[in-house]
C-alpha cells in the first residue's frame, strides 16, 4: 500500500482518512447555512455551484475513506482534488475570511505527510493563488475584505513555514534516532550472538518473571523445541531443592538485591529424569536508577552440574574409602617385612615362620596389585580411553576366554563349559570393555565356586545377544544382591571373606556396562550359585 512520504505512518494515515471524510460534511453544512442566509456571508452564494462542489467533495471523501491509495498517482489526484474543491469553496461559497479556512492547515499537513517539503510548498502556492483570485474576483465589491484576505494568507504562510521548520528539525532528530537505533540493534545483535554461543543456558525475564530473551542452550537444557518467550518462569522451570521440595523460580527472583548462586537445585523432566543445576540469578537495573528503586528484570544462568557434583561427591567418598582400604594391606606388608627383618638377624629362627611372613607380605602385595589394576580399569573407563568400537565375533571371543580360564578352573577341580551356537552373530563394541566384563564374571565365578563348574553362554534374543556366566558357587543373599555392585563392598559371608578381594570388581563392571550402553542383571540364590548377564545389540551386518 502507498503511504507517501517517510513521515506518513499508519496511524497518521488513519487520522487523515477520517479528517478527509468529516471535514467536507462540516463544510457542506456550513455552506448551506450561508446559502440560506442563516449565517451572514459577504459573497453571493450560488446554490447550484455549492451543490456541485459539495457533491463532488462527498464522492472524493468516500472514495478516499473506503479505498486506500496504493499508488503515488492516486494520492496526487486525491490531494489535488481536495485543494481544488477547497479553493472553489472559498471563492464561491464562504470567501477567504471564514473560521473554517483553518482547515487548510489540514491540507498542509496531508501534503507534508504524503509529499514532504514539495507538498507543503505546493499547498501554500495553491492557497496564495486562491487568495489572489478572491481579491481579483470580489475585491471591487468588498474592498474591506482585502486586509483580512492578506492576514489569512500570512497566517497560512506562517503555518507552512512552521511545518517545514519542524520538518527540518525532525529530519535531524530522525537521523540521530536512526543512527542510535542502528547502534542499539548492532549492540543487541552482538549480545545475542554472544549469548547464543554460550554453553550455559541464559534466560532474561522482566520484573514479573516473564521470559523475554533466551538462548539455544536453554532449549537444549530443558529438552524442548517450543518457544519460551512470553511464558512465566514458573511454568517453564520446575525446580526442587535438596529436600526434594518444589521451589518456584519466582521465589529466587523475589527480593534479589545482588548476584546469588545456588548449586543445590534439581530440575525434573516430564519422564522423571533429574539433573542438578547451578543457578545464577542477577538483577537488571538501569544505570541511573537507585538501589532501592527495584529491578527492571533478571538474568538467570543455568548450568548442568550433575556429572560434576556426582564426580566431586564420588571423589571425596573414593578418597576416604581407598585410604581406608589401603591402610590394612600396607600395614600388614610393613609388619610382615619388619618381622622378617628381625627374624633374619637372629639365629635358629624356624623356616616356617620366615615363609609365613613372606607369604603374608606377598598376599597383601597381590591384593594391592589387584586394587591398582581395578583402579586403572576404572580410570580408563572414566576417561573413555578404550571407547573405540570394533566388530567382534562372539563365538571367537567366548572361545578365547575359554582357552584362557580353563587351566585356572582345572586347578580348583572345576569344569568350565561354553554354550554358544554357531552363527550367533557379531557385536560392535569396545573389545576391552566386553572382555573385562566377562573376565570379571568368570574369575568371580571360579573364585566363589568349590564344587561343580562355570558355564559361559551367548545366545540370540531378537536383535540382541545375551551374554551370561553361571556358576554353582556359594550364591548371594537377596539382602546383599543390591549392594554387591557398590565400590569396596564385600559380603559378610565368611566364605567370601576367606577368598580375599578388593571389592572393586563389580563396581568397575557397572561402569563398563554403562559405557557399553547396557546393564548387568544378577540372578542368585544362596548356596545354589549365581548368574551374571548383560546384552548387546547384534551388529547390523549379521542381522537376519
Q: Which of 124-128, 510-514, 533-537 has the highest mean pLDDT?
A: 533-537
pLDDT confidence of residue 493: 46
Residue 471 has pLDDT above 70, yes or no: yes
Burial (Cβ within 10 Å: 0-12, 13-18, ≥19) of residue 447? middle
Among the CATH numbers 1.10.1760.20, 3.30.450.20, 3.40.50.2300, 3.40.50.970, which is that of 201-304? 3.30.450.20
348 CB neighbour count, 10 Å cutoff:
4
Contacts of 42 (CB under 8 A, 6+ apart): 95, 97, 138, 142, 145
- DSSP-assigned beta bridge partners for residue 461: 464
d(CA 259, CA 247): 18
301-351 pLDDT tens trace: 888 887 776 666 666 666 666 665 666 677 777 777 777 777 777 767 777
CATH of segment(s) 310-383: 1.10.287.130
Tell me what percent of the chain is helix, strand and coil, each rounded to the nearest 5. Answer: 55, 15, 25
pLDDT confidence of residue 536: 93
Long-range contacts of 406-410 (CB under 8 A, 24+ apart): 408/443, 408/446, 409/446, 409/453, 409/454
Distance of CA 312 to the CA centre of its chain: 26
395-442 pLDDT tens trace: 999 999 999 889 988 988 999 999 998 788 899 988 888 888 898 889
Between 120 and 450, name the one with better pLDDT.
450
pLDDT confidence of residue 287: 56
d(CA 25, CA 48): 17
Sequence ranges of the chain with CATH classification 1.10.287.130: 310-383
Sequence ranges of the chain with CATH classification 3.30.450.20: 201-304
Q: Label the pairing between strands 453-461 and 415-420.
A: parallel
pLDDT confidence of residue 417: 93
DSSP SS3 for 60: helix
Sequence ranges of the chain with CATH classification 3.30.565.10: 390-542
The CA dihedral of 280, 281, 283, 287, to the nearest 10 degrees, is 10
Among the CATH numbers 1.25.10.10, 3.30.70.20, 3.40.50.300, 3.30.565.10, which is that of 390-542? 3.30.565.10
- What are the Cα distances from residue 391, in Å, to 281, 426, 461, 516, 539? 49, 7, 19, 13, 7
pTM: 0.41
Amino acid at each position: 500500500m502507498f503511504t507517501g512520504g517517510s513521515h506518513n505512518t499508519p496511524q497518521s494515515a488513519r487520522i487523515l482518512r477520517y479528517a478527509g471524510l468529516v471535514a467536507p460534511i462540516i463544510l457542506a453544512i456550513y455552506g448551506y447555512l450561508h446559502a440560506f442566509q442563516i449565517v451572514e456571508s459577504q459573497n453571493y452564494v450560488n446554490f447550484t455551484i455549492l451543490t456541485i462542489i459539495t457533491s463532488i467533495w462527498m464522492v472524493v471523501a468516500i472514495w478516499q475513506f473506503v479505498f486506500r491509495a496504493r499508488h503515488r498517482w492516486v494520492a496526487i489526484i486525491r490531494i489535488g482534488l481536495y485543494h481544488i474543491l477547497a479553493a472553489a469553496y472559498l471563492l464561491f461559497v464562504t470567501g477567504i475570511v471564514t473560521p473554517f479556512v483553518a482547515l487548510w492547515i489540514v491540507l498542509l499537513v496531508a501534503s507534508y505527510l504524503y509529499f514532504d517539503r514539495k507538498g507543503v510548498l505546493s499547498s501554500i502556492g495553491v492557497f496564495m493563488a486562491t487568495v489572489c483570485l478572491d481579491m481579483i474576483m470580489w475585491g471591487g465589491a468588498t474592498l474591506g475584505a482585502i486586509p483580512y484576505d492578506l492576514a489569512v494568507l500570512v497566517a497560512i504562510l506562517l503555518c507552512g513555514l512552521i511545518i517545514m521548520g519542524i520538518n527540518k528539525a525532525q529530519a535531524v532528530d530522525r537521523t540521530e534516532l536512526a543512527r542510535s537505533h542502528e547502534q542499539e540493534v548492532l549492540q543487541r545483535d552482538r549480545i545475542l550472538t554472544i549469548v547464543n554461543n554460550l554453553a550455559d543456558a541464559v534466560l532474561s525475564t522482566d520484573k514479573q518473571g516473564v521470559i523475554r530473551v533466551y538462548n539455544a542452550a536453554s532449549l537444549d537444557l530443558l529438552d524442548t523445541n517450543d518457544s519460551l518467550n512470553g511464558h512465566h518462569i514458573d511454568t517453564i522451570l520446575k525446580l526442587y531443592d535438596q529436600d526434594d521440595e518444589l521451589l518456584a523460580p519466582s521465589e529466587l527472583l523475589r527480593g534479589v538485591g545482588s548476584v546469588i548462586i545456588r548449586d543445590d537445585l534439581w530440575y525434573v523432566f516430564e519422564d522423571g529424569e533429574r539433573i542438578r543445576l547451578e543457578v545464577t540469578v542477577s538483577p537488571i537495573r538501569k544505570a541511573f536508577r537507585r538501589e532501592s528503586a527495584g529491578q527492571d528484570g533478571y538474568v538467570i544462568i543455568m548450568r548442568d552440574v550433575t556429572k560434576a557434583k556426582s564426580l566431586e561427591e564420588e571423589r571425596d567418598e573414593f578418597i576416604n574409602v581407598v585410604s581406608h582400604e589401603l591402610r590394612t594391606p600396607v600395614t600388614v606388608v610393613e609388619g610382615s617385612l619388619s618381622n622378617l627383618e628381625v627374624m633374619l638377624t637372629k639365629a635358629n629362627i624356624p623356616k616356617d615362620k620366615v615363609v609365613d611372613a613372606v607369604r603374608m607380605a606377598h598376599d597383601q602385595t597381590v591384593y594391592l596389585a589387584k586394587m591398582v589394576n581395578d583402579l586403572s580399569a576404572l580410570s580408563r573407563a572414566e576417561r573413555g580411553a578404550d571407547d573405540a568400537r570394533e566388530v567382534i565375533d562372539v563365538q571367537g571371543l567366548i572361545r578365547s576366554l575359554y582357552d584362557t580360564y580353563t587351566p585356572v578352573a582345572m586347578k580348583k577341580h572345576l569344569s568350565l563349559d561354553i554354550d554358544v551356537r554357531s552363527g550367533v552373530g557379531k557385536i560392535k563394541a569396545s573389545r576391552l570393555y566386553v572382555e573385562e566384563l566377562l573376565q570379571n564374571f568368570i574369575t568371580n565365578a571360579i573364585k566363589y565356586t568349590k564344587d561343580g563348574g562355570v558355564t559361559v553362554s551367548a545366545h540370540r534374543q531378537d536383535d540382541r545377544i545375551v551374554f551370561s556366566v553361571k556358576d554353582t558357587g556359594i550364591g548371594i543373599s537377596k539382602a546383599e544382591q543390591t549392594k554387591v555392585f557398590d565400590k569396596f563392598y564385600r559380603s559378610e559371608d565368611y566364605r567370601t571373606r576367606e577368598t580375599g578381594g578388593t571389592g572393586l570388581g563389580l563396581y568397575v563392571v557397572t561402569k563398563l556396562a554403562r559405557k557399553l550402553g547396557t546393564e548387568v542383571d544378577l540372578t542368585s540364590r544362596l548356596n545354589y550359585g549365581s548368574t551374571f548377564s548383560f546384552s548387546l545389540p547384534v551388529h547390523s551386518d549379521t542381522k537376519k
